[in-house]
Structure 1
Amino acid sequence: MSQDINRSGEMEVFVRVVEQGGFSAAARLSRLTPSAVSKLVARLERRLGVRLLQRSTRRLQLTPEGAAFYARATRILDEIAAAEQEAAAGAAPRGRLRVNASVHFGMAYLLPLLPAFLERHPEMSVDVALTDTVVDLMEQRADVAIRVGPMRDSRLVAKKLGESRNIVVAAPSYIARHGLPRTPHELERHNRLRFCFTRIVEGWPFLDGTGGIVTVPPDGNALVSDGEAIKALALAGLGLVRVSEFQVRAEVAQGLLVPVLEDLNPGDLSEVHAVYVGGAGPLSSRIRAFVDFLVENVRI
């Protein structure tokens, strides 16, 4: 039997094909071409002597043998990861760290700090993915993610990096054309821009003047995928947006965006956490070094 077979690598690619539902998505995560992923899975099937996937133009489906192999492969990969973490726990941080962060946090905080972090830990490298969509760390094989908002995943360990009020803002050009809303009810005739992904809190809460809260749902003519995009639309005068104050602090200070209905702001906070998957074993020195660095240096 050939000695150059990377069995764990084959398993990881196969698991990604199953979890991502196709060769193209798995190829992007694995930094391979779709044809290379397809050939790898075919080679794995030939070596095992069984078909693992039923292929069609519409979808991939696990065979019974494929389902059994997938279950065992995920357990083996988890064991390998645990063994690596245990071995690295007492060593100097080294190797690649996969980090997922929101677009604004990544651009404004994370990327500017990376040179100092990598200078402190020269044997490490960092693989950064920026998206405002909440990803599953286990599925995406991410080591650390930066989450803005309530924490709901009990599997994750969270280290707080800061917090920020949520505010509604609009550009002076938008206010000049459409007027400044004075009450939450007046917002109904305004363009309230929103995100295209599901958020834990979708509505915009305001004090109702009697000690209660009234919630206004966003309803606008544009949907966006991240905080930087929605800020750009607000700056262009398209409509009102509700975001964490730290995302628009500079623009408000420069007068490029104007707070709206601040006297009725309930003062709800968006907390920012660095999160990672917890477990019974020791924490990887790579993760510990990175999270400790963020706690030490991030000022929101």
Structure 2
Amino acid sequence: MPGSPITSSARGVFAIAPTPFTPDGAVDTTSLDRLTDFYTASGVTGITVLGQLGEAPKLAHDEAVAIAARVVRRVQVPVVVGVSAPGFAAMRSLTAAVMDAGAAGVMIAPPNTLRTDDQITAYYRNAAQAIGPDVPFVIQDYPLTFSVVMTPKVIRAIVAENPGCVMLKHEDWPGLEKISALRGFERDGSMRRLSILCGNGGLFLDFETERGADGAMTGYCFPDMLVELVELAARGEREAAHDLFDAHLPLLRYEQQPGVGLAVRKYVFARRGILDHEAQRAPAATLSAAARAEVDLLLERLARRDGRARLSPLAR
């Protein structure tokens, strides 16, 4: 059942879902259903599929649509779909298909060829035209991966030009001052309200919420912790929020390593009994025996403070 379209008032946690695969590279629909149910049980506000760590570039168009449609049918929360593509024709086609399937909006990342402010604003202007005026969309601001730097003023210009732009997936690093600047624009009336959900695995979520972020849109392997953290922050329970965050920080940091982060995430989801396989579709990075042992140690230490990390070992 589709959720309502995303709006600029969105808050909470939108879980970035990995795409489950079987060892032979097929989409693992059984694990996908279990993962979807787990996110719902964790209390997430929404789910984002086909994001940067959803292995979207490795999927055929029909596979991507089928995954999005399957998740939409299974939940009652909004589902955002990553539609970033090398060209606008592919973006338009995927957007039309997933919106017809009941998606609540789409997420668009900038291509790494953009360098100037004018190029960035023109790109989002053209992207908005390609997907259509009635489709709400999310800006994915992730300069560490995309090599595209969006200043607060550029984001304000994109928001001003495109009524469909309702959300920022904020993944700049360092980026706390950017959040403050954007909220300052809202206070002085120079920018309409924009939902700001933060990524980077939640690595700075403890302070991002205090700077004015509305929550998280990320894929840390304990989304239930992210939900709890955002709720604590919203209630003003600062010490409890930081205590919870501090307990998870070593694992969160380890999972955020470039190149192997998705492998860590899938390994923990497998240990949590959510995914049947840790498999990624080729090309993929895998965890060495030493890395698995390190993740196991981090989980063991975390379990002393958070029982959710008390997990059975994987059968080998």
Normalising by structure 2, report the TM-score. Answer: 0.22
Give the helix-richer structure, 1 or 2: 2
Normalising by structure 1, report the TM-score. Answer: 0.23
Query: Of the two structures, which has the highest relative contact order with CA contacts closer than 8 Å and spacing of 6 or more?
Result: 1
Q: Which has the larger radius of gyration?
A: 1
Give the strand-richer structure, 1 or 2: 1
